[in-house]
Structure 1
Amino acid sequence: MALYEHVFLARQDITPQQVDALVEQYKGVLEANGGKVGRVENWGLKSLTYRIKKNRKAHYVLMDIDAPAPAVHEVERQMRINEDILRYMTIAVEKHEEGPSAMMQKRDRDDRPRRDGDRPDRGGFGDRGPRPDRGDRDDRPRRPREDRA
């Protein structure tokens, strides 16, 4: 049997319990056709980059599948029929990843590198720093204006 990662997007107006019911339904289809489902990750309700079928958000779900190709084709056929499924994608993989997927990993903000690097504090002068060559403009002598009569 081949290994697959399967992601599907469900409509925003269904409840999380209905999303879980969809997962169980598709698990049943796979198991009835000789496959099995490993890890299931519910990524939750996320904003879409662009509208899909008049939806701005969707429930994202990832399933690790170990099944023959006809079982995967049957699941995809049923997803095309179901109105609650906006999109789906199945990818064949060499092996399933261990641990949480990239979407589920929480990155601690303190571990990320700072955007400004290791620059020294510039004392509130922005990127330019102090300008000792310019001095205060009010201290310079001014040329008298020529009065035009």
Structure 2
Amino acid sequence: MRHYEIVFLVHPSQSEQVPAMLDRYRINLEARGGQIHRLEDWGRRQLAYPINKVHKAHYVLMNVECDAEALAELESAFRFNDAVLRNMIIKRDCAVTEPSPLLKSEDERDGSDEEGGGQRGERRPRRSDDSGEGRSAPREASAE
């Protein structure tokens, strides 16, 4: 069986239906001998460009191992589901199980909020002049 990475976008008005959709896709894959190695729900995010006059969508990432028949069934499920705006399926060489960079960055951001660090880094020390005064005195105009 081959490994695939699948990303699909769900219409934002159907976000509450995503868990049921994922269960349906998981059951369909496992019934045909497939396996899900990674499943990430990225939530509602801004689109780079509008799709059917929609500016946000619910993103889902899956890494699966399945045969061609199960993949074709999954593709047709995406195609005939009006809630799925777009999908992308990429063949991978091996199973990917570690969290995606997007999920890692969200976890780091959530951790920094708890510490009170926020999203901004620490401030750099103030630059001072060679004289050590900080600001130089205003120049006087020379009279000629």
Normalised by the length of structure 2, the TM-score is 0.75
Structure 1 counterpart of 2:70, which letter?
A
Partners of 1:141 and 1:41 in 2: how far apart?
70
Unaligned segments of structure 2, at least 5 residues: none
What is the Cα deviation at residue 140 of structure 1?
1.9
Once the two structures are TM-superposed, the CA of residue 41 in structure 1 deviates from its matched residue by: 0.7
Distance 1:65 1:84 in 2: 21
Distance in 2 between the 1:79 and 1:98 partners?
23
Of all paired residues, the percent bearing the same amino acid is 36
Secondary structure, in 3 states, of the residue corresponding to 1:59?
strand
Return the letter of the residue paired with 2:15: T
Q: State the shift of 1:74 in Å.
A: 1.3
Instruction: Say if 1:22 and 1:142 are closer, same or farther in 2 by CA, change over 3 A.
Output: same
1 CA distance for matches of 2:13 and 2:135? Answer: 58
Contact 2:10 2:57 in 1 (8 A): yes
- Please report how far the alpha carbon of residue 98 of structure 1 lies from its aligned counterpart in structure 2 after TM superposition: 3.4
Identify the structure with the greater helix proportion.
2
- Name the counterpart of 1:27: 26
Q: Distance in 2 between matches of 1:20 and 1:123?
A: 57
Aligned residues: 130
The 5 Å alignment of 1:32-47 reads 32-47=31-46
Equivalent residue number for residue 138 of structure 2: 136
d(CA) in 1 for partners of 2:126 and 2:82? 56
Matched, 1:76 2:75: yes
Q: How far apart are the structure 1 equivalents of 2:33 and 2:66?
A: 6
Residue 142 of structure 1 and its aligned partner are, at CA, apart by 4.5
1:1-149 matches, cutoff 5 A: 1-16=1-16, 18-106=17-105, 107=108, 121-123=126-128, 136-137=138-139, 139-142=140-143
Amino acid at match of 1:37: I
Distance 1:55 1:10 in 2: 11
Cα distance change of structure 1 residues 61 and 34 upon mapping to structure 2, 3 Å threshold: same
Question: Computing the radius of gyration over CA atoms, which structure comes out larger, 1 or 2?
Answer: 1
TM-score normalised by the chain length of structure 1: 0.73
Q: Is the 8 A contact 2:37 2:97 kept in 1?
A: no
> 2:9·2:57 contact (CA, 8 Å) conserved in 1?
yes
